């Protein structure tokens, strides 16, 4: 249900699985009770003035990440007092960041961008580990395999790369 915010781009469960967080394109985060999705319990303002294009939680933690049209990924922690705290900002892409995923051990983040690159980051310290130049088209989605050390991407030119 629309709680006054519009354009939900991502949703994820709380670590306890009793709440759902909705990431809105306008940068707000809504918290919903799983037993009643009709209205947000509250909305958290991130003070982010950029368009959020995707959000994803790190499994089994209170940390999630967002990517946006300012070419950055940000990590956030859900606080006990129902607020959130920004942890890190990851900067290196040359255009909108459209997709993200995490490694099996939750220590690496993978981001895909309109700049035709995939970046691999350390979640712990925010360091850029490597850049993969695909020279194809915008990277619309990226998914890390839960088995092994591989990921797949899809891009605007219609190709799926593994």
pLDDT along the chain (162 residues), means of 10: 67 81 82 77 65 85 88 87 82 91 90 90 92 82 78 71 62
What is the CA 35 to chain-centroid distance, rounded? Answer: 25
Q: For 36, which DSSP code?
A: B
The pLDDT value recorded for residue 1 is 47
The pLDDT value recorded for residue 159 is 61
d(CA 60, CA 17): 10
Residue of 103, 121, 4 whose CA lies nearest to 67: 121
The pLDDT value recorded for residue 97 is 92
Residues facing 86 on adjacent strands: 76
Cβ–Cβ under 8 Å, residues 76 and 64: yes
d(CA 162, CA 42): 40
Phi and psi torsions of 124, nearest 5°: -60, -45
């Amino acid at each position: 249900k629309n709680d006054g915010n519009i354009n939900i781009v991502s949703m994820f469960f709380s670590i306890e699985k009793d709440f759902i967080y909705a990431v809105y394109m306008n940068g707000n985060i809504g918290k919903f009770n799983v037993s009643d999705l009709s209205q947000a319990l509250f909305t958290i303002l991130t003070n982010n003035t950029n368009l959020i294009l995707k959000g994803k939680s790190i499994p089994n933690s209170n940390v999630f990440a967002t990517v946006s049209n300012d070419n950055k990924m940000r990590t956030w922690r859900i606080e006990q007092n129902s607020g959130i705290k920004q942890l890190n900002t990851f900067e290196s892409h040359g255009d909108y960041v459209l997709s993200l995923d995490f490694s099996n051990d939750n220590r690496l983040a993978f981001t895909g961008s309109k700049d035709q690159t995939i970046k691999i980051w350390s979640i712990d310290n925010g360091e850029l580990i490597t850049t993969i130049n695909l020279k194809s088209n915008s990277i619309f989605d990226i998914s890390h395999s839960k088995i092994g050390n591989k990921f797949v991407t899809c891009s605007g030119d219609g190709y799926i790369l593994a």
